[in-house]
Amino acid sequence: MSRCDPLATAIPPMKDLTTENITENVHIVNSQCRDPRLRYLHERIVTHLHDFCRETRLSTEEWQAGIQFLTEIGQISDDLRHEMILLSDTLGVSLLVDSINHPRREPATEGTVLGPFHTHDAKEKDNGAVLHSDPDATPLLVICSVKDTEGDPISDVKIDVWEGDSKGFYDVQDPNRTGPDGRGVLHSDKEGRFFFKAIVPVPYPIPMDGPVGGMLRRLGRHPNRPGHVHFMLDKPGYDLLITALYPRGDPYETSDPVFGVKESLIVDLSEVTDPAMASQYNVEMGTPLLTYDFVLLTDQQARDLRKQKAVEEMQKQNRDVVWHNGLPVPATGVQ
Amino acid sequence: MSRCDPLATAIPPMKDLTTENITENVHIVNSQCRDPRLRYLHERIVTHLHDFCRETRLSTEEWQAGIQFLTEIGQISDDLRHEMILLSDTLGVSLLVDSINHPRREPATEGTVLGPFHTHDAKEKDNGAVLHSDPDATPLLVICSVKDTEGDPISDVKIDVWEGDSKGFYDVQDPNRTGPDGRGVLHSDKEGRFFFKAIVPVPYPIPMDGPVGGMLRRLGRHPNRPGHVHFMLDKPGYDLLITALYPRGDPYETSDPVFGVKESLIVDLSEVTDPAMASQYNVEMGTPLLTYDFVLLTDQQARDLRKQKAVEEMQKQNRDVVWHNGLPVPATGVQ
């Protein structure tokens, strides 16, 4: 069908809209965007949203429920409550984005979700320090090392550590919080070692009183994260490692609601059985013991991996990559 | 890599998570959902969201910006402002969902977006009524018919009509609104005819002072909808038709920000040139004239079309359809 004469405007005319070609038409209108990366992001998200609607024959009532659900998530959110991040977490998106941005290869330690409980007020502590004041908790001796992929120790790595208490609560969840507890910032020594006294972590539920909780209930999912200790390892020249360690055997280990567990991050706790060790670390005999050897990638190693994977992913779309501020965009238009 | 023994829980164990298999793992956890339709919706949305992240190598900063954008859309929304719907509109999703739910085939009239300005307080009016009190507007005589696909007239169709004023504003945008203006509810007569006096519609901008306006600016898009008159045609036994007519030649006709224009809904205005007609409809000679013949599908015709398209779409996924409350779900699991 012919249209009226092209109008005096720089906008490329849309074609006659149908269920099938509306996606192409949205791309045409968005092609006015001058930022090639934003253009690419919109091309892909619009394509996927439309394919979702077409594949499912999304009903008007379902669309309305989705609009309402997303709106409520925004409305319940504030500086302390990040419900949209919780949605991203429970859909596996947060873990995926983290994996994309911090790719790993053997023998580097895998990352996992940051979670909502990291703070910036944790105090610098010496090796051997006690992180927790919780009198009901089971003490845990943690002895770790940090190495590069060649096996050489990395000294002076800044290690941010945080975990919940014996009830599964983080200090920031305590309305009477007066300062940091269950957290600290350590540094690796010349041999790349760091060690501290934590507590044996326990499972805890993610918030279930908002829209995301309603979604999990409708999906028949439970809210309980398996117990873990968070670590963030940072040193200039190395790719930031945000990760966590999960003592084996937690009942929720195979069904983490935010998909944070990876096989390589599950650890077998042992016990302090050597009197010399108990004396050296000033713990009682029989204290549970967690040991782990972290391996960091350099910035260059991580950058190379990211670029390689971006090229592979664009090849799946039969496109070549060009780079825009270090991020991939296709050399050619919509396929 | 082997995992610990399966735990005493009904939850299917997840595999070791990687960038590639996390999608499958989210499907495994969501497989606990007992509602097959909800399970299918989640399977498709999770697949598409993850593919979007993988294809674009979504950066952590872009993910944060997206979380913030969606949160702000919820926060600016209230009973009067529906910013999430505006997002859906400007991404072409609303039009697509409408087309899916109200499929059309020749010679049935195509639908388009409802928009945010429909109200339920429009008054019943007789044929020939004047819809608008705007003294600055150019009057428009509208003469229409309603038929079925066999060409037979349909009487007693309820027709809800609404449009903006000569400045492009709807009555509900007037803070001093005392009652409906520029709207009315008519009924087709025995010959399926209805007619009324409207005004020649003018373009108007969608709201640009919120997050969606910011998105349009970043995309280099303008906010102006081409002028149009809204129609909603309703009669038991027939598929509800929500549509609009767009006088040809509007400068924004080929770049509607909400993708509402379809070729078949663009109309050529003429003029009243016959003195008998001017007298019959009580308008001045030379009054702009809009004529249109609406064609409705029966409920059964629309239902058959919806089912046929749902089957075709599932076949593209190499799946068979089973029906759940009238909506399609796949007979087999994730492909």
pLDDT digits (tens, 9 = 90+) for A155-191: 999 999 999 999 999 998 888 899 999 999 999 999 9
Of A50, A74, A93, the CB nearest to B71: A74
Phi and psi, residue A242, nearest 5°: -105, 120
> Judging by beta carbons within 10 Å of its beta carbon (0-12, 13-18, 19+), is residue A178 exposed, middle or buried?
exposed
Rg for chain B, CA atoms, rounded: 25
- Read off the pLDDT of residues B30-87 as tens digits, 9 standing for 90 and up: 998 999 999 999 999 999 999 999 999 999 999 999 999 999 999 999 887 899 999 9
Q: Is the pLDDT of residue B217 over 90?
A: yes
User: How close are the terminal C-alpha atoms of chain A, in Å?
Assistant: 24
- Mean pLDDT for A10-36 is 83
Q: Pull the structure tokens for residue B126.
A: 């007789």
Tell me whether residue B251 is in a domain.
Answer: yes
pLDDT at residue B248, as a whole number: 96
The helix (run of H) or strand (run of E) holding residue A75 is: helix A60-76
Would you state the pLDDT for residue A24?
92
Rounded to an integer, the average pLDDT of B212-226 is 96
Using a CB-CB cut-off of 8 Å, the residues of chain A touching B88 are 63, 67
Q: For residue range B129-140, what is the model confidence (pLDDT) as tens digits?
A: 999 999 999 999
Residue B103 φ/ψ, nearest 5 degrees: -65, 150
Using DSSP, state whether B61 is helix, strand or coil: helix
A269-293 residue pLDDT tens: 999 999 999 999 999 999 999 999 9
Chain A residue with CA closest to B51: the answer is: A48
Question: Is residue B37 a part of any domain in this protein?
Answer: no
Task: Give yes or no for a contact between A69 and A211, defined as CB atoms under 8 angstroms apart.
Answer: yes
Is B318 inside any structural domain?
A: no
- pLDDT value at residue A17: 77
List of chain B residues whose C-beta atoms are within 8 Å of the C-beta of residue A62: 41
Q: What is the pLDDT of residue A80?
A: 78
In a domain, A75, yes or no: no
- Selecting from A17, A94, A317 the residue whose C-beta is nearest the C-beta of B55 gives A317
Q: pTM of the full predicted structure?
A: 0.91
Q: Please name the residues in contact with A123: beta carbons below 8 A apart, sequence gap of 6 or more.
A: A180, A184, A185
B193 closest CA partner among B293, B281, B278: B293
Confidence of residue A333 (pLDDT cuts 50, 70, 90): low
Give yes or no for A73 touching B (CB within 8 A). yes
Strands A139-148 and A288-296 come out as parallel
Query: Over the range A30-58, which residues count as b (16 or more CB within 10 Å of their CB) and which as e?
Result: bbebeebbbbbbbbbbbbbbbbbbbbbbb
Q: At residue A54, does pLDDT exceed 50?
A: yes
The residue of chain A with its CA nearest to that of B69 is A74
Query: What pLDDT score was predicted for residue B2?
Result: 30
- For chain B, helix (H) and strand (E) counts, in that order, are 8, 13
pLDDT digits (tens, 9 = 90+) for A80-126: 789 999 999 999 999 999 999 999 999 999 999 998 899 999 999 99
Cβ neighbours, 10 Å, residue A125: 18
SS3 B307: helix
B318: left (phi over 0), alpha (psi -120 to 50) or beta: left
**A273-277, B1-5, B273-277, B322-326 — which is least confidently predicted?**
B1-5
Strand ranges (DSSP E) for chain B? 139-148, 158-162, 183-187, 193-199, 204-205, 224-225, 229-234, 241-247, 266-267, 270-271, 288-296, 321-324, 327-330
Residue A15's pLDDT band, with cuts at 50, 70 and 90, is: low
Is B70 domain-assigned? no
- How many other CB atoms are there within 10 angstroms of residue B234's CB atom? 15
Determine the angle formed by the axes of helices B60-76 and A60-76, rounding to 10 degrees: 100
Which chain B residues contact residue A221 at CB under 8 A?
29-30, 32-33
Measure the CA–CA gap between A112 and A118, rounded to whole angstroms.
13
pLDDT of amino acid A3: 32
Q: Tokens 């001796």 belong to which residue?
A: A141
Residue A19, chain B, CB below 8 Å: the answer is yes
Residue B3: per-residue pLDDT: 32
In whole angstroms, give the CA distance from residue B275 to residue B280.
Answer: 8
Sign for the pseudo-dihedral over CA of B221, B222, B223, B227: negative
- Band of residue A2 on the pLDDT scale cut at 50, 70, 90: very low
Domain of A193 in residue numbering reads as: 106-170+178-205+224-297
Task: Scan for tokens 């090639």, then name that residue.
Answer: A36
* One-character DSSP codes across A307-327: HHHHHHHHHHTT--EEEETTE
pLDDT band, residue A242 (cuts 50/70/90): very high
The partner residues of B291 in beta bridges, in order of sequence, read: B143
CATH label of the domain that carries residue A236? 2.60.130.10
Give the pLDDT confidence score for residue A79 in this predicted structure.
81
Distance (Å, whole) CA A323 – CA A329? 6
For residues B173 and A91, the model is more confident at A91
Half-sphere exposure of B98 (CA within 13 A, CB side): 23
Q: Does A301 touch chain B (CB under 8 A)?
A: no
Contact between chains at A91 and B306 (C-beta distance less than 8 A): no
pLDDT at residue B302 in the model? 96
Lowest mean pLDDT, pick from A14-18, A117-121, A211-215: A14-18
Residue A112 CA to residue A243 CA, distance in Å, equals 5
pLDDT (average), residues B200-220: 96
Check CB contact of A80 with chain B, cutoff 8 Å: no
List the 93-112 stretch of A: residues with Cβ below 8 A of B: 93-101, 103
pLDDT of residue B1: 28
Query: What's the pLDDT score for residue A16?
Result: 74
Q: Which ranges of B31-179 would DSSP assign to H, the alpha helix? A: 36-56, 60-76, 83-90, 93-101
In the predicted model, what is the mean pLDDT of residues B103-132? 93
Q: How confident is the model at residue B150 (pLDDT cuts 50, 70, 90)?
A: very high
Residue B287, SS3?
A: coil
Q: What pLDDT is stored for residue A98 in this prediction?
A: 94
Instruction: Tell me which amino acid residue B260 is.
Output: G
Mean of pLDDT values over A223-229 = 97
What's the structural domain count of chain B? Answer: 1
Mutate to test the interface with A, among B255, B311, B313, B321 (most CBs of A within 10 A): B255
- Residue A7 pLDDT: 36
Using a CB–CB cutoff of 8 Å, tell me whether A254 touches chain B: yes
Of A18, A39, A100, the CB nearest to B57: A100
Judged by a CB distance cut-off of 8 A, whether residue A269 touches chain B is no
More confident residue, A9 or B326: B326
**What percent of chain B stands above pLDDT 70?**
95
CB atoms within 10 A of CB B114: 18
Mean pLDDT value of segment B100-125: 93
Query: What is residue B6's predicted lDDT score, i.e. its pLDDT?
Result: 32
Residue of A nearest to B112 (CA): A17
Chain A residues closer than 8 Å to B72 by CB:
74
**pLDDT higher than 60, residue B319:** yes
Token pair 């009555």 is at which residue?
A: B171
- Is residue B41 in some structural domain? no
Whether residue A328 is preceded by a cis peptide bond, meaning omega within 30 degrees of 0, is no
Q: DSSP class of residue A135? A: T
- Cβ of B41 within 8 Å of Cβ of A59? The answer is no
Query: B63 in contact with A at a CB cutoff of 8 Å?
Result: yes
Chain A interface mutation, best of B254, B262, B304, highest count of A Cβ atoms under 10 Å: B254
Vertex B218: Cα angle to B217 and B222 (nearest 5) = 30
Average pLDDT over residues B281-309: 97
Tell me the pLDDT tens digit for each residue of B254-287: 899 999 999 999 999 999 999 999 999 999 999 9
> Residue A142 in contact with residue A197, Cβ under 8 Å?
yes
Please give the mean pLDDT across all residues of chain A: 93
| B61 at interface of A, judged by CB pairs closer than 8 A | no
Q: In this complex, is the C-beta atom of B59 within 8 Å of any C-beta atom belonging to chain A?
A: yes
CB atoms within 10 A of CB B332: 11
Q: Rounded CA gap, B6 and B33, in Å?
A: 20
Query: Does the pLDDT of residue A243 top 60, yes or no?
Result: yes
Domain membership of residue B66 (yes or no) is no
Find the mean pLDDT for residues B285-308.
Answer: 97
The answer to whether residue B134 sits within a structural domain is yes
Q: Which of A14, A34, A63 shows the shortest C-beta gap to B97?
A: A63
The residues facing B78 across adjacent strands are none
Average pLDDT for B26-31: 92
Q: Which of A4-8, A218-222, B20-24, B233-237 has the least mean pLDDT?
A: A4-8
Of the pLDDT bands very low, low, confident and very high (cuts 50, 70, 90), residue B123 is very high
pLDDT at B10: 53
The percentage of chain B sitting over the pLDDT mark of 90, rounded to a whole number, equals 87
Cα B202 to its chain centre, rounded Å, is 20
What is the share, in percent, of chain A residues with pLDDT greater than 90? 87
Predicted complex ipTM exceeds 0.95: no
A105: number of Cβ within 10 Å: 13
Q: Which two tokens stand for residue B295?
A: 């064609």
Looking at chain A, the number of H-run helices and the number of E-run strands are: 8, 13
Residue A277 parent element (H or E): helix A275-281
**In this structure, how many other beta carbons lie within 10 angstroms of the beta carbon of residue A155?**
14
Helix (H, G, I), strand (E, B) or coil at A235: coil
Position B80 scores a pLDDT of 78
What is the three-class DSSP state of A335? coil
